Structure 1
Amino acid sequence: MGTHDAFLDGLRLAVGARHVLTDGELGAYEQDWRRRARGRALAVVLPGSTDEVAAVVRACARQGVAIVPQGGNTGLSVGSVPDASGTQLLLSLKRLHAVRAIDTANLTITVEAGCVLQDLQAAAEDAGLLFPLSLAAEGSCSIGGNLATNAGGTQVVRYGNARELCLGLEVVTARGEVWDGLSGLRKDNTGYDLRDLFIGSEGTLGIITAATLKLYPQPAARLTAWAAVPSMQAAVDLLGLAHRHLGAGLTGFEVMNRFSLSLVDKHYPQLRVPLFRDSPWCVLLENSDHESEDHARALFEQLLESALESACVTDAVVAESLAQAKALWHIRESIPLAQAEEGLNIKHDISVPISRIPAFVTETDVLLAREIPGVRLVDFGHLGDGNLHYNVQAPEGTDAAAFLREQEERINTLVFDSVARHQGSISAEHGIGSLKAATLPRYKSPVALGLMRAIKQALDPQGIMNPGRVLAPGPASDGV
């Protein structure tokens, strides 16, 4: 029996033969969500427990086999599929989906990494509590992937990214050891914060197998408003008013340009997009109130009255029912789908200090229009936390595939250089993956990169954990 066969037989012994896939249709595991890349796995392994994950990692460490961890495979930066070599092991966390415990007194929930975000939200709701992480892929993404990429979503303005919602982790290290850090402590000042080190590391340092997360009381009422604003600066001014009037009740603040909403109107006319035809920008606000719906509505009315008086809002509608609120949020969440219907596009997930966003948008819009006549900009995102999805659509009537081949690198450079001028980041919530790994050194401090490489070398000296992600191989990396 060859080494290859003996290795696979060892995996079958560790997790069960039917949970080691080497043939058949593996496309769901090998193809990334955006269809930017398709790899070929040595095998797809689906362990059913943390101990089984550890056994798989130890086997890979002995053989020097690279591991690509995967949750719901909804990532946007090509970070969770194997390369084309056929030598990497795809380790799926799908079978680790249990809710292990809910502590209502401590306001925490402990779940396994493969737990789908929507199921986690439902478990919290069944306990009369709220888990606030919310994003478009919540019906299929898993909490392990959310933590590995430090996911954001629509409520970061109030509750923070995934990192801020996590109190503890269970992690399998690159050596196959298990770190049990699932304590639900909010204060633990006993050395380096290993939890925060693994969150956002995209599986390059270890494999998250479970997490203890913060829960919150359910609000007594949630109200949603849709406002037309005359400029991005007006949207920023409205955000300031919303903070003053609503305080911690402001749980969502999204901005959308006219072209992004016109695509929704074009491809999903049944959604009835409000107010966009006569306004360059629209804003979607959410107010979560812990007193009553009447109190929430009164605060919203005061906010909108002040905004209309100061001319940062030209028109607005407040949802009169939960159904209307869901319909407004559905419009916002349909922008990426409508953009895909329009054709291939170039996506950007950038962050800029909120005070500089108006200048960034104005300057970059003008720059791209000058350099690429006819380019169409799908600009939308989480203005409340400074995160824009500044996406680029090919000029109308052109070959979109050819446009991507010929212009993507140039457009990325133009946009990222503008982000850097405005002291921003080239990735706000999607991560680096392999898509931006080669680009990162241009925009990340050499000192920061050196520290990151030192951590990678210390925790994964063989370089088997999701290689080529976040840190691209290079002469200074010793192959890691």
Structure 2
Amino acid sequence: MTKPAITEPFENLHDQILDAVGEEGVVAAPADMARYLAEERGRFVGRAAFVVRPASTAEVAEVVKLCAAAGVGVVPQGGNTSLVGGSIPFEEGDEIVLSLERMTRIRELDADNFTITVEAGVILQQVQEAAAAADRLFPLSLGAEGSCRIGGNIASNAGGVQVLRYGNMRDLVLGLEVVLPDGRIWDGLRALRKDNTGYDLKQLFVGSEGTLGVVTAAVLKLYARPREVVTAFVAVPDPAAALALLGRLRAASGESVTSFELIPRLILEFALRHIEGCRDPLSAPQPWYLLVELFGGREDGGLREALEEALAAAYEDGTVLDAALAESETQRRAFWQLRENLTEAQKFEGGSIKHDVSVPVSAVPAFLKEAEAKCRELVPGCRPVPFGHLGDGNIHFNVSQPEGGGAAEREAFLAGWDAMNRAVHDIVHRHRGSISAEHGIGRLKLAENARFKSPVELDLMRAVKQALDPHGIMNRGKVL
């Protein structure tokens, strides 16, 4: 095998790491490295000295130890589905990418304890399938579940469509195994619901985006598999009515609402126009829609009746305009296909400026009204299409360019990305919300994060970073 050319400053480190992980564990040819160096949306394309793919925690530890000794930065990477550049190296080429894609073992599934222990490179969908095979549920569910990996889900504190019922990744982690920036291994793989013996160290690494260490394995919570799933596509006059319906359904179902997704008519039209197989679930267009799903513990346990009664009452008082309940698994999947294709459909409508934000659930209607008005003031004719997880206050506030524009208009619109972000984030901040609900900070939101974090918060974050990574080798220039 011909060894790829490695620049002189990294040749010794390359050889040491090659000895530690073997030829299969090192990627250095430019063509082979390309997929590790580019973000999905193309906003960030970096360079690296080479890519390392360890196959065990011991190998990860040895690689990090060697990089620490050499003062070389390490960029941990899972499935590389980040939307904020968190897993992409910078352009200088003086870091290595540490991919966890070969660490794919499911170490243990304890059905009686309702836990599963997996390595960081296991794909989310594989965890879901392993849980289902044991008659259990792993509830994290999101669009990239067929390619994102558990280590990245933990590092970014992933959310998705069932946070309302089960919480985000932070709520689903019981224990972690982490390689620290000096190469030591912290074994915190405890499958305990109660452990009151000091600081909850695992939570330092959940949502840290690889800046404090490398998550190599995790103990995750499982739940009882639902026996009754009831799904409805509901039309409402406005977000305020949607909010009122959420409260009504939570009470009527005994807190069985699992997903509560808000969809404006305009982005639904994008999907109907551009995505093959999408069909309008209702007979007439309405201004806003909800995709509602409830999970229950018994087959024919009364959830459908409870939902029908609540929707009927809401129809009578004008809170609901129309509704369709899924009569089969095929129809349920069709409803979800619409929701899951919204982002893809928006690509066909030209440039899109995106915001992943959250506000208190009660503030969503006011936030939407203010933010839409501000965007139209900044760019007359622009098309706000806010959608997403109303149940937990996380709205993907996307804005499409004015209709009918070509490539030049697209570029002019996207040139206003920072200004529109700033305006929307200011409104989020006034509602005591977050500028990143589930995507993280990465490289994309560094400056905006610094604008809104208080000096005390930033000092505390820097103190944690300094304590764990004093030489600053872990995912440099991300988050802080």
TM-score by length of 2: 0.96
Pair 1:7-2:13 in alignment: yes
- 1:224 alignment partner, SS class: strand
Pair 1:223-2:230 in alignment: yes
Pairing of 1:74-85 with structure 2 (within 5 A): 74-85=81-92
For 1:460 and 1:247, the matched residues in 2 are separated by: 46
For 1:72 and 1:353, the matched residues in 2 are separated by: 30
* Structure 2 match to 1:160: 167
Between 10-19 and 158-167, the greater mean CA deviation after superposition: 10-19
Q: Which amino acid aligns with 2:454?
A: S
Q: Which amino acid aligns with 2:395?
A: L
1:8-64: CA deviation from partner (whole Å, max 9, x where unpaired): 000000100232111142221001111111111110000000000000000000000
Pair 1:407-2:413 in alignment: no
* Structure 2 match to 1:252: 259
Pair 1:16-2:22 in alignment: yes
* Structure 2 match to 1:139: 146
Q: CA deviation at 1:2?
A: 5.4
Q: CA deviation at 1:294?
A: 5.2
For 2:255 and 2:218, the matched residues in 1 are separated by: 26
Between 176-185 and 285-294, the greater mean CA deviation after superposition: 285-294
Q: Which amino acid aligns with 2:469?
A: D
* Structure 2 match to 1:466: 475
For 1:269 and 1:69, the matched residues in 2 are separated by: 36
For 1:446 and 1:309, the matched residues in 2 are separated by: 51
- 2:294 alignment partner, SS class: strand
8 Å contact from structure 2 (residues 378, 420) kept in 1 = no
For 1:177 and 1:11, the matched residues in 2 are separated by: 16
8 Å contact from structure 2 (residues 351, 414) kept in 1 = no
* Structure 1 match to 2:3: none
* Structure 1 match to 2:442: 433
- 1:439 alignment partner, SS class: helix
* Structure 1 match to 2:179: 172
- 2:248 alignment partner, SS class: helix
The counterpart of 2:463, out of the listed 443, 454, 469, is: 454
Pair 1:122-2:129 in alignment: yes
For 2:402 and 2:9, the matched residues in 1 are separated by: 53
Rate the CA distance shift 1:400–1:143 in 2: closer, same or farther, 3 A.
farther
Pairing of 1:28-427 with structure 2 (within 5 A): 28-268=35-275, 270-275=277-282, 278-293=285-300, 295-398=302-405, 399-427=408-436
Q: Which amino acid aligns with 1:18?
A: E
1:119-141: CA deviation from partner (whole Å, max 9, x where unpaired): 00000001110000000000000
- 1:438 alignment partner, SS class: helix
For 2:148 and 2:337, the matched residues in 1 are separated by: 18
For 1:342 and 1:372, the matched residues in 2 are separated by: 16
Q: CA deviation at 1:191?
A: 0.9
1:71-127: CA deviation from partner (whole Å, max 9, x where unpaired): 000111110011111111000000001100011111100000000000000000011
Rate the CA distance shift 1:35–1:277 in 2: closer, same or farther, 3 A.
farther
- 1:201 alignment partner, SS class: coil
8 Å contact from structure 1 (residues 345, 400) kept in 2 = no
8 Å contact from structure 2 (residues 252, 310) kept in 1 = yes
- 1:100 alignment partner, SS class: strand
Q: Which runs of 5+ in 2 are unaligned?
A: 1-6
Q: Which amino acid aligns with 2:26?
A: V
1:266-301: CA deviation from partner (whole Å, max 9, x where unpaired): 102521022396311100000111122352211111
Q: CA deviation at 1:173?
A: 0.3
Between 125-134 and 303-312, the greater mean CA deviation after superposition: 303-312
Q: Which runs of 5+ in 1 are unaligned?
A: 472-480
Q: CA deviation at 1:245?
A: 0.9
Q: CA deviation at 1:263?
A: 0.7
Number of positions where the alignment pairs a residue of Structure 1 with one of Structure 2: 471
8 Å contact from structure 1 (residues 264, 273) kept in 2 = no
8 Å contact from structure 2 (residues 353, 414) kept in 1 = no
8 Å contact from structure 1 (residues 165, 214) kept in 2 = yes
For 1:125 and 1:102, the matched residues in 2 are separated by: 11
1:441-468: CA deviation from partner (whole Å, max 9, x where unpaired): 1111111111001111111011110011
For 1:280 and 1:425, the matched residues in 2 are separated by: 26
* Structure 2 match to 1:478: none
| Percent identical residues | 51
8 Å contact from structure 2 (residues 123, 149) kept in 1 = yes
For 1:86 and 1:2, the matched residues in 2 are separated by: 13
* Structure 1 match to 2:4: none
1:201-258: CA deviation from partner (whole Å, max 9, x where unpaired): 0000000000000001111111110000000100000111111111231111000111
Q: Which amino acid aligns with 1:160?
A: G
Q: Which amino acid aligns with 1:422?
A: H
1:354-382: CA deviation from partner (whole Å, max 9, x where unpaired): 11111111111112112210011121000
Q: CA deviation at 1:402?
A: 1.8
8 Å contact from structure 1 (residues 222, 293) kept in 2 = no
Q: CA deviation at 1:310?
A: 2.6
For 2:211 and 2:282, the matched residues in 1 are separated by: 45
For 2:248 and 2:402, the matched residues in 1 are separated by: 37
Q: Which amino acid aligns with 1:467?
A: R
Q: Which amino acid aligns with 1:292?
A: E
TM-score by length of 1: 0.96
For 1:179 and 1:54, the matched residues in 2 are separated by: 10
- 2:305 alignment partner, SS class: helix
8 Å contact from structure 1 (residues 394, 403) kept in 2 = no
8 Å contact from structure 2 (residues 236, 321) kept in 1 = yes
8 Å contact from structure 1 (residues 258, 276) kept in 2 = no
Q: Which amino acid aligns with 2:40?
A: W
8 Å contact from structure 1 (residues 96, 113) kept in 2 = yes
